[in-house]
Structure 1
Amino acid sequence: MVDANVDEGLGALVFALAASGPSLAALVMWLRYRRTDRMPKQVTWSWGWPLAAVVLGCAPPVLAALLMGVDGIPQHASSVIAGAGGPLGALAYTLIAGPLSEEFGWRGYMQPRLRRYYGRIAATVVLGTAWGLWHVPLFFLNGTGQHDKGLVSLEGLLFFLGLFPLTYTILFVSERLRGGVWAAVLLHAAWNLSEELIPPLSSTGLWVELFLTTLIAISVGLLWRRSPQPQLTASQ
């Protein structure tokens, strides 16, 4: 496949669809089946799940950078924020490009329906695989982080592997902590923003990040096992 550019022509169209496709698809499915496929609401508003979502989303990239002794974090973060038009611009872009445009599809629609038939691990594998496949076209678009990694590379492999523990952690905050799709949006945004504000990690740093992501997923899984509760479904 020939590389396209994310800022122009067909590349811009593909990028827009890749960014918003899951949530748009969820909207279409909800409009089509809203009378026959009703899902109980999940969200219980509290300070617990927003705080957990932010901490769990930020922790792997930030801790990996600190453990690897990455230099120039303040300068890099300042440059990224300035390039986005300031803090509000960086926050708005982070929320829209990924969290809001994807999570109503992945965690708002697909996840609770998978959980009707599958346990937590099986649902994580199915959803993590779908999430990864959806990102494949981005590896062929100049200007995306995926293109910079390369599809057939160690960085590309670690990107796909990291989606599975991250999917499980999002399941935890959205279902177990009753944050619903909004907890998924918040954790996704925290992860993306942390990744952007930190200079690119070395190959070793990416392995450390994957290890930390997996460790967090295992930890919340053990916590979930010790304090189970009835299955919940994401808010629409």
Structure 2
Amino acid sequence: MLTWVPWVLLGVQGVDLDEGLGLLVFGLAASGPSLAALVMWLRRRREVRPGPRSRLSFGAPVAAVLLGGIAPVGAAILLNLNDLSAIPDHAGPVVADIGGPVIALVYTLLAGPVAEEFGWRGYVQPRLRQLHGRVVTTVVLGAAWGLWHVPLFFVPGTGQHDDGLFTQYGLVFFLSLLPLTYLMLFVTERLRGGVLAAIVMHAAWNLTDELVPVPGSGGLWLRLLLLLVTAGAVAVWWRHRPR
């Protein structure tokens, strides 16, 4: 409700998201998962938090960056082997348009990772893990994460709207959320990075996705394949080293 109602209204009204009230409403609605988690935490602040505690270390954030960026960067390298300079040539103007590296980094952290992950990985995930294994948790949380994004495909001015819901871009978007959910489960639970690691990985995925050249149809599926291979490799490693 915190997200869908405002987004649906914005889509129906065709509100400009570039500035003013439309941007404010959109940003607050995008923070629905974390705001909902905050409300639930305030209501049940005496409840013992389930799941393993996070620990302060460099391992989990570094792994989160690598796992979040490996598929977009890897696909971009493979697609531009004949002209690798195309990657920095694309990234430079993108960063400049946002306002520079610092603003780009802050914007990437806030627009998505911080707005969502306190809800998805901070509140919902550990409670699912109390009842289900890793695979079921991944499927349920990944499906919920995808369903939450659906209104964006009907809000003009968003990347999802530009890609289209009933296209291969929309299909790959939703399919990608499952391996991403599993990898976030890995960095938050197995590496004990907590919600901070999820924020870092989410930001790494979003930022690298923006900085590399836009892939064509084949590149889109190549990126998904690399993401699936990465999640599969992590699953095998986790199975043999469960603790």
- Structures share a fold, TM > 0.5? yes
The answer to whether residue 102 in structure 2 is matched with residue 88 in structure 1 is yes
Alpha-carbon offset, residue 96 of structure 1:
0.2
Corresponding position of 2:42:
31
CA distance in 1, matches of 2:144, 2:51: 24
Q: How does 1:64-103 map to 2 (within 5 A)?
A: 64-69=75-80, 72-103=86-117
CA distance in 2, matches of 1:9, 1:77: 28
Corresponding position of 2:184:
170
Alpha-carbon offset, residue 36 of structure 1:
3.2
Corresponding position of 2:149:
135
CA distance in 2, matches of 1:143, 1:89: 20
Structure 1, unaligned stretches of length 5 or more? Answer: 230-236
Alpha-carbon displacement from aligned partner over 1:72-129 (angstroms, at most 9, x marks no partner): 2212211111111110000000000000110000000000000000100000011101
CA distance in 1, matches of 2:92, 2:186: 32
Q: How does 1:161-200 map to 2 (within 5 A)?
A: 161-200=175-214
8 Å CA contact 1:76–1:199 kept in 2: the answer is yes
Alpha-carbon displacement from aligned partner over 1:6-34 (angstroms, at most 9, x marks no partner): 22567535522342110000000000011
Corresponding position of 1:211:
225
Corresponding position of 1:151:
165
Report the CA distance shift for 1:116/1:185 in structure 2 as closer, same or farther (over 3 A).
Answer: same
CA distance in 2, matches of 1:132, 1:40: 24
The answer to whether residue 61 in structure 2 is matched with residue 50 in structure 1 is yes
CA distance in 1, matches of 2:69, 2:194: 19
8 Å CA contact 2:51–2:126 kept in 1: the answer is no
Q: In percent, how many aligned pairs have the same letter?
A: 61
CA distance in 1, matches of 2:157, 2:97: 14
Provide the aligned C-alpha RMSD in A: 1.7
Corresponding position of 1:220:
234
The answer to whether residue 5 in structure 2 is matched with residue 5 in structure 1 is no
Report the CA distance shift for 1:216/1:134 in structure 2 as closer, same or farther (over 3 A).
Answer: same
8 Å CA contact 1:5–1:141 kept in 2: the answer is no
Provide the secondary structure at the position in 2 that maps to 1:142. Answer: coil
- In the superposition, the TM-score normalised over structure 2's length comes to 0.89
Alpha-carbon displacement from aligned partner over 1:151-197 (angstroms, at most 9, x marks no partner): 11110010000000010001000100010100000000000000011
Aligned pair partner of 1:21 in 7, 20, 32: 32
Corresponding position of 1:232:
none
- In the superposition, the TM-score normalised over structure 1's length comes to 0.91
Alpha-carbon offset, residue 135 of structure 1:
0.9
In the TM superposition, structure 1's runs of 4+ consecutive aligned residues that sit over 3 Å from their partners are 1-5, 8-11, 36-41
8 Å CA contact 2:51–2:130 kept in 1: the answer is no
Letter paired with 1:104: F
The answer to whether residue 129 in structure 2 is matched with residue 118 in structure 1 is no
Query: Number of residues paired by the alignment?
Result: 229
Corresponding position of 2:6:
none
CA distance in 2, matches of 1:160, 1:18: 20
CA distance in 2, matches of 1:225, 1:125: 18
Report the CA distance shift for 1:11/1:141 in structure 2 as closer, same or farther (over 3 A).
Answer: farther
Aligned pair partner of 2:74 in 48, 54, 63: 63
Structure 2, unaligned stretches of length 5 or more? Answer: 1-10
CA distance in 1, matches of 2:88, 2:124: 38
